[in-house]
Amino acid sequence: MKDISGRLGEYMLKGWVLTDRTCQNSGCNVPLMRSPSGRTPVVHYCASCDENPDTNLPLVSTTSSSSASSSASQATRISTPPTEISSGLGSPTFVLPPETGESRRRREQSDMASVELGKRLLQGWAMLGDECPNTQCFGVPLVRPPKTAARDSNKECVICGSIYVTEIDWAGRERLVLLDFPPPQAEKTLTEARSIPKLLIPSPKTPVKLEPQVSTTITRTPDTHLNTTLPLLRDAIKALEHTLQMLTLKLTALSDGRLPIDPLAISNATDAISKTTQALSHVKQLEWSEMQNLAL
């Protein structure tokens, strides 16, 4: 598989396109590659069964015969004198069907997958035999990070970005399960929490100077600014507490041993918990300050 991945990466850099079709030979499920755009005739190439596609030899993926029948065919060609090929058209020219929106989308997705897979293979990632189960991805192979010690490591799709793990059911059958993380609300909530102090810091009270000779009755009106600020601060506290709870559950899931240990994900979760805790403490201080102003 390592040699096949290397050959796929090599030909992707030469302009070949990884398609959503697989090799039809028995026991071979390697995705076929299509010749670069502008080259005629269009050739499909299997990195496992076929030889160098730049030679004039027929490709295994473009014929339905086995290797034994191929050798017999070569022996027949050697013993049979060459047949003169007529320059005239003996049959109508094959015309490709018009391209539809769905076929165009599949072709563009296949081109994009070829580019992304080529980049990952050059970085040491391994292409797997599993395909992304997402219905919007058409035969996109999953890839595995390099130098992973765990047997069932995370498997990623280069198109939709989904991460899967392999689980074994009670009957011993393997199946791909989407690795579900909590929605990334921490960054958004932290941004909202940081914006509150800039907009809602109460301005200092301006002292009122009273003339002793004039009897003036001062009517104290409620501060509408404080009345609108306090509910917003309490909403921010609830949002931050919910985010902190979700991040804690995520960190527990990453470190309980049921999933492969991912130091980068654990580090990111720990950093997000630290920042969320700081923001929650700051907003609670603002709430206490607002309540003190209301008590005056």
Token digits of residue 123? 């970085």
pLDDT at 221: 52
Query: What would the pLDDT profile of 199-247 be if each residue is shown by its tens digit?
Result: 444 444 555 455 555 545 545 555 555 567 778 888 888 888 888 888 8
Domain assignment present for residue 130? The answer is: yes
Residue 125 placed within a domain:
yes
Classify 179 as helix, strand or coil: coil
Are 156 and 199 members of one domain? no
Q: What is the pLDDT of residues 20-35, one digit of tens each?
A: 888 888 888 888 888 8
Spatial contact of 164 and 255, defined as CB atoms under 8 Å apart: no
Give per-residue burial for 247-281: e unless 16+ CB within 10 Å, then b.
beebbebbeeeebbebeebeebbeebbebbeebbe
Residue 30 placed within a domain: yes
Residue type, 275: K
pLDDT of amino acid 74: 46
Q: Which domain holds residue 12?
A: 2-66+102-178
Instruction: Give Cβ neighbours of residue 116 (< 8 Å, ≥ 6 apart).
Output: 158, 159
Q: Do 24 and 143 share a structural domain?
A: yes
Same domain, yes or no, for 138 and 60? yes
| Residue 17 three-state SS | strand
Burial of residue 288, with CB atoms counted within 10 A of its CB: 0-12 exposed, 13-18 middle, 19 or more buried: exposed
Q: For the full predicted model, state whether its pTM sits above 0.85.
A: no
Angle subtended at Cα 289 by Cα 283 and Cα 291, rounded to the nearest 5 degrees: 105
Same domain, 148 and 193: no
pLDDT of residue 225: 55
- Give me the pLDDT at residue 150, please: 52
**DSSP percent split of the chain into helix, strand, coil, nearest 5:** 45, 10, 45
> What pLDDT is stored for residue 85 in this prediction?
52
In whole angstroms, how far apart are CA 49 and each of 33, 77, 242, 256, 269?
Answer: 12, 22, 54, 43, 45
Question: Does 95 map to a domain?
Answer: no
Sheet strands (E) in 23-103:
31-34, 44-45
Residue 89, domain member (yes or no): no
Query: Do 149 and 200 share a structural domain?
Result: no
Residues 168 and 191 in one domain: no
Tally the domains of the chain: 2
- If asked whether residues 35 and 174 sit together in one domain, one would say yes
Q: How many C-beta neighbours within 10 Å does residue 192 have? A: 16
The answer on 153 and 227 residing in a single domain is: no
**Do residues 144 and 272 share a domain?**
no
- What's the confidence (pLDDT) of residue 66? 42
Identify the pLDDT of residue 37. Answer: 80
Q: Indicate whether 246 and 290 sit together in one domain.
A: yes
> What are 11's two structure tokens?
């030909």
**pLDDT value of residue 226:** 53
96 falls within a domain: no
CB 19 within 8 A of CB 32: yes
Residue 197 and residue 111 share a domain? no
SS3 (DSSP) at 157: coil
Low-confidence ranges of the chain (pLDDT < 50): 56-80, 87-88, 182-183, 186-187, 189-190, 193-204, 208, 215, 218
Check whether residue 50 and residue 162 sit in a common domain.
yes
Is 239 inside any structural domain? yes
Q: Which residues of 44-80 are buried (b: 16+ CB within 10 A; e: fewer)?
A: bbbbbbbeebeeeeebbbbeeeeeeeeeeeeeeeeee
Does some domain include residue 74?
A: no
